[in-house]
Structure 1
Amino acid sequence: MVGREWQPLSAAELDQRLDLAVEEILEAELLSELRAQPPPAVYVHLMQTQPHVGPQVLQPAATACGPQVEETPAEPQGRLESVDSAAVKYIKDLLHSSKSQARLVGRARVSLSHTILLSLTLLSERVSYGSVSRRFLVEKGNIHKIFFSFCERVNTLKEMQIRWPVGEEAVDALFPISSQGKGQEDGEQSVPLVLGVLGHTRIPIRLPIGKHDVESTVPEVKRMKEEAHPDSWLNLELLCDRRGRLLHCTISKGSDVDRGSALRDKLKEHPELMPPGSCLVARTGYPLTAHILTPYVTSQGPREELYNKTLEEHFHILDQAVANLRARFQRLRYLDIGSYNRARAVVLTACVLHNAFLDMGWVVQGEVEREETITQEGEGDVDDEGVRRRDAISDLLLKSFES
């Protein structure tokens, strides 16, 4: 057990800890000398005129001698404070229960609890390896190994955490496509219940060496949005239920624009995955089938407009789930990783932990970005059965609305 959870620190890490200890001693001595000295006249004047600024005067001197730790945005602080011992223990138990018995690597091993907390810090905050190295007193090069080893272990939990609902679980996940259309029937046709909302988002990553457009004069951030190389993005395709829990996810390179084809084929081969009278809803660009309903690309009248408006209400569920995922794991806003496989492992780790934290009741509410809601694409693949079902459902919705 000791060999699995701990190994002696390397010489470099021992030197680092010694340096930090000396810095803390020197900083404490300097602060004690400053406190012993009488306050300067400027300080006394500020205390008399603006009493509320008094405690802030010595703050720069207190940090000037210490290690320069990067400041994190105010938004992620509440999230990281919520990563308490209960969350670490929950993930630790999940890792112990997984099928993979691979050991977490690292020349200077830290405990599994510290490994989890270190990795969650990298995922939850947009901080550098150097900042995390100073915070956890672990060599920067070793953090890289520990983090990706953690991601590989968490990836083995995908089938356990991101699973398709079946049986009673699937029935409980169903919700009406429209409150007005609930229970309306016309012969053998009825307004279906929704199992989940299908969509995608893009995760920016660092381009591999050799694929940068070095001659472009457009600023880097603007170039990422307007002249982005296909490989500078990962496509994250998600299917979530009404609670925002992920039921399905696939991660592909940015050049892959074949929306939902794998899921369409899977449902065609295994129709039993869809409860009777149920469907998935997706935006334009996804295939229209008997199981996946998409909006009309061109509105021809009140029937089509009502149908599109009904589906649009469900798309907010997916937009909010994506916003919550990004808010919980700030690292997904930009992955400074040039390896597709490693970037994919990090994204999948965030998706698995997203569901795990929902099971714990730990909810993070993110703000929906406008760019996520603007996905104007042409109609995807269409089959005849999907066209007939969409027309029948739009007719039922219009009848229900008129009545």
Structure 2
Amino acid sequence: MNPTAIYVSPLVAEAVRLTTEDGALKVFADAKKIKTEPDEENTIPRCQEDQFKEQFRMERSSFEILLRVVGKAIAGAEHLQPIGQMCLPEKLLYTLTLLSGKSFREVGETFAISKSSGHEIFKWVTAAFAALLPRYVKWPDKDVACTTERIDILPDVVGVIDECRIPLKLLVKEEEGQRHIVALALQAVCDEHSRFLDIHIDVPDLQCILLKSELFERLIDTVEPLMPPHKHLVGETMYPLLLNLMTPFTEKNRKLGPCHMRFNQAIRSWNAPAERAFAALISRFRRLESLEIATLELATTVVSATCMLHNFILECGEPIDGVLDFDTVPERPKSVVFGAHGLVNWDFTAAAERKRDNLVAGFMHA
């Protein structure tokens, strides 16, 4: 590819131009010597907001903030970027377009980037996004609990824990045991606004992946507890009942009365924020519908990057209603009631059961 004669589509050229301050795209244009079609020269149309959002999965104003955030994060290490002749805005836009679900070939033609160079850019940018994850996916302050009237019938809920599966288009081979992996499990804690508070990405198996996550260690830490005793997450019966994790009652050991049923319904009303979060994530970043990735490490990085972007976009004030497509979310795998794992006889289970019984008492006259 001749770097002195590159055609960039009007949409991409305009998007890059609009994300640079004080006409700084002129530097980019001069360096790349962007060519336009004869009838387009000097008449490149302004990229409309809906066009920008459709291709790059966020509003122009959000992208401008993202560009500054990433630029600041890599300050002093610019020389480590792959494909030095391609500017940072274009690399971010290229990667966002790939995350939207388009193929490397299609996006490469739009940006005039070879597939091999494109893979290097994609890996570098998604790693940069993933490195920003702790800044945007973080636990709330200790005094925070749900304030949404529709789902606050159960008091002191910090968030809901749930998981979804990310299908892998290519069979990823795990080094230990040479096991083929056909999907990743994304475990997430979401608040009432469908914002991720914590995520864990792992290889799914019959065991609840919570047990393999750092979150589990924090939930059972009695020396430095994650939350005060009266606060909690909520989750389905696939999760263990813990002091800070309330789960529904089952009919295995007792007949459920009306107050138990109302308690269960209060917990399950929290499924909606998690379902919206997963639907927004996969609807916006459709590459997750079938992730074509050859290594487990890169697959984890890409999923982490999209979770960071999900929260970043919410922080920018963009609503998620316009991108929701619940059909994109893979069907939930059949879960095993946690008691079936044989791991319920812990020392702190009794305290969790007492707490749950006390919460149920609050539904006695509901």
| TM bracket (short chain) | 0.7 to 0.9
Q: For residues 227-280 of structure 1, what are the alpha-carbon distances to aligned partners after superposition, in whole Å with 9 as ceiling and x for unaligned?
A: xx8611111010010001110001111337333223232123265432452110
- Alignment match, 2:219: 267
Change (3 A) 1:79 1:22: closer
Change (3 A) 1:145 1:374: closer
Does structure 1 residue 396 correspond to structure 2 residue 362? yes
- Alignment match, 2:64: 89
- TM-score with structure 1 length normalisation? 0.68
2:207 corresponds, among 233, 257, 282, to 257
Tell me the CA shift for residue 100 of structure 1.
Answer: 7.9
One-letter amino acid of the counterpart of residue 145, structure 1: E
Change (3 A) 1:194 1:100: farther
1:139 corresponds, among 89, 92, 114, to 114
Change (3 A) 1:114 1:309: same
Does structure 1 residue 200 correspond to structure 2 residue 163? yes
Q: Distance in 1 between matches of 2:83 and 2:209?
A: 42
Q: Distance in 2 between matches of 1:76 and 1:278?
A: 44
Q: For residues 335-376 of structure 1, what are the alpha-carbon distances to aligned partners after superposition, in whole Å with 9 as ceiling and x for unaligned?
A: 111200001100000000101000111223313348556754
Q: CA RMSD in A?
A: 3.3
SS at match of 2:186: strand
SS at match of 1:377: coil
Tell me the CA shift for residue 82 of structure 1.
Answer: 5.8
Deviates more, 1:147-156 or 1:250-259: 250-259
One-letter amino acid of the counterpart of residue 200, structure 2: T
- Alignment match, 1:119: 95
- Alignment match, 1:363: 319
Q: Distance in 1 between matches of 2:220 and 2:173?
A: 40
Tell me the CA shift for residue 92 of structure 1.
Answer: 1.6
Change (3 A) 1:232 1:288: same
Tell me the CA shift for residue 79 of structure 1.
Answer: 3.5
Deviates more, 1:156-165 or 1:291-300: 291-300
Change (3 A) 1:374 1:231: closer
Q: Distance in 2 between matches of 1:356 and 1:114?
A: 19
Q: For residues 64-118 of structure 1, what are the alpha-carbon distances to aligned partners after superposition, in whole Å with 9 as ceiling and x for unaligned?
A: xxxxxxxxxxx99853366454222211221133378544532353111111111
SS at match of 1:289: coil
**Kept in 2: contact 1:264–1:287 (CA 8 A):** no
**Kept in 2: contact 1:79–1:364 (CA 8 A):** no
Q: Which structure's CA Rg is the greater one?
A: 1
Tell me the CA shift for residue 208 of structure 1.
Answer: 2.9
SS at match of 2:171: coil
**Kept in 2: contact 1:285–1:378 (CA 8 A):** yes
Does structure 1 residue 98 correspond to structure 2 residue 73? yes
Q: Distance in 2 between matches of 1:173 and 1:119?
A: 35
**1:35-54 residue pairs with structure 2 within 5 A?**
none
One-letter amino acid of the counterpart of residue 379, structure 1: F
Identity of aligned residues (%): 25
Long gaps (5+) in structure 2: 9-33, 40-49
SS at match of 2:81: coil
Tell me the CA shift for residue 177 of structure 1.
Answer: 9.1
Q: Distance in 2 between matches of 1:323 and 1:391?
A: 33
**Kept in 2: contact 1:192–1:279 (CA 8 A):** no
- Alignment match, 1:313: 269
One-letter amino acid of the counterpart of residue 362, structure 2: L
Change (3 A) 1:147 1:359: same
SS at match of 1:171: coil
Change (3 A) 1:236 1:329: same
One-letter amino acid of the counterpart of residue 133, structure 1: G
One-letter amino acid of the counterpart of residue 245, structure 1: R
SS at match of 1:323: helix
Q: Distance in 2 between matches of 1:118 and 1:379?
A: 43
- Alignment match, 2:250: 297
- Alignment match, 1:331: 287
Q: For residues 130-183 of structure 1, what are the alpha-carbon distances to aligned partners after superposition, in whole Å with 9 as ceiling and x for unaligned?
A: 10111011122111100110011111111111111124xx4265557965x5xx
Change (3 A) 1:268 1:319: same
**Kept in 2: contact 1:133–1:140 (CA 8 A):** yes
Change (3 A) 1:134 1:235: same
The structure with more helix, counted as a fraction of residues? 1
1:171 corresponds, among 113, 135, 144, to 144
- TM-score with structure 2 length normalisation? 0.74
One-letter amino acid of the counterpart of residue 244, structure 1: S
Does structure 1 residue 153 correspond to structure 2 residue 128? yes
